Amino acid sequence: MDVHRWATGATSPNGIGKSTAGGIYVNSNYDSGNIEIEDMSEAGNIKLRIHPDPFCETDNVSHAMWFNFRMTNVAGKALTLHINNAGQCSFPVAWQGYQACASYDLEHWFRVPTQYDTDSGVLTIQHTPECDAVQYAYFAPYTYNRHRQLIARTQAKRDVKLLMIGETCDGHDLNLLQLGTPGPGKPNVWIIARQHPGESMAEWFADGLLERLTDSHDAVSRHLLRDACVFVMPNVNPDGTWRGHLRTNAAGINLNRAWAKPCEEDSPEVFHLLRVMDKKGVDMLVDVHGDEELPYCFIAGSEGIPGWSDRLKGLQDGFCAAYKRASPDFQTKFGYGVDAPGEANMTICSNQVAQRFDCLAVTLEMPFKDTADHPEPVQGWSPERAKRFGAALLPAIYEVLPTLRAQ
């Protein structure tokens, strides 16, 4: 399998490089890894590149932003890492104010000094590690192996059913979790995450949501599963996760631009998911993402769809008010512009689902950096905060549940 991780220049292929000064190693040859190596002759001047996703015809671009690599033999060494193609990445303006993530144990992630030079287009990370090995990443990774563990432990919980709805281009399982029992008059609520694999905070969010939703001692979860059936797909794009992509699947498809006419050959993830949605029905959808630039948690609504109505507006407004009550990290002042009537991009999941099922459907965004309203200086936006933000979604859903199909 071509995992798209190579080194260049005087280093070995497949994402492994050794410095000629100090015996430092760089390695990205693993699940969710991504980096290319240009030059490692000096520990204080290591030159790197982010490897792009396969060319995406729907976006007319080769996406790049995600990096994830390990450095060893580095304890006490002053490292200066230059990502030389940062200016050619998908959202170069987003590098301003960004701080790279680092971890020694792959559990606790913290931010390290990072600067972006707009003239040269180079992103520079400076850090003196305290341990022999350190991991650097665009955001704390949620690897495919961790995803498999999440599915395994969740499907073993009470009242959880695992639906294997299809396979990806690379042959990975498409895992959908059903929590609660469908029944006449019970709404079907859908939460999907990680259409864009580099937005790993989305699966941390799903992890926290599932942890609370399967807690039999949590009153909100118990009542929610009594009154609704909840479908959760924590990772819609496992191929891109495994390969270390930012936005596309193995075929170079941006899945969140494939919902109008999904194809089983190149976008099987959406094809199979939409097929199951049609069979089960959808009364509410939250599609979870991460935003590279904006330092806020917010939603993008479905105002521009042809079927937008006062009922859908009331549902969306009610959901936003409920989520703000459930979590101070959610806000509605800052976000994307609202589509004009009839101008929605119908290839996007939340727009297509809102129109197809005449239901509340939103795209939920979290920051790669931090929230401007509630910053955390050591970790920024982190796995821990994303998990708690996911758990906070449940009371918001429970509050709007009675109104989803009310006349």
Mind telling me the catalytic residues? 365
The number of beta carbons lying within 10 Å of the beta carbon of residue 145 is: 13
Which strand (E) or helix (H) includes residue 102? strand 100-103
Q: Please name the residues in contact with 277: beta carbons below 8 A apart, sequence gap of 6 or more.
A: 190, 353, 357
> Which DSSP string corresponds to 117-186?
ETTTTEEEEEE--SSSEEEEESS----HHHHHHHHHHHHTSTTEEEEEEEE-TT--EEEEEEES---TT-
Which class for 309: exposed (0-12), middle (13-18), buried (19 or more C-beta within 10 A)? exposed
323 three-state secondary structure? helix
Q: Using alpha carbons only, what angle is made at residue 320 by residues 65 and 221, rounded to the nearest 5 degrees? A: 90
**Sheet with 360-367, side-by-side order of all strands:** 160-167, 173-179, 229-233, 188-193, 284-291, 360-367, 298-300
Task: Give the pair of three-digit tokens for residue 32.
Answer: 């969710």
Answer yes or no: are the C-beta atoms of 59 and 257 closer than 8 Å: yes
Q: Please name the residues in contact with 94: beta carbons below 8 A apart, sequence gap of 6 or more.
A: 65, 292, 293, 368
User: Which amino acid is residue 363, in one-letter code?
Assistant: T
Q: How far is CA 23 from CA 27, 40, 43, 235, in A?
A: 13, 10, 9, 37
Q: How far apart are CA 183 and CA 215, in angstroms?
A: 22
Query: What are the backbone dihedrals phi and psi of residue 366, each rounded to the nearest 5 degrees, phi first?
Result: -125, 160
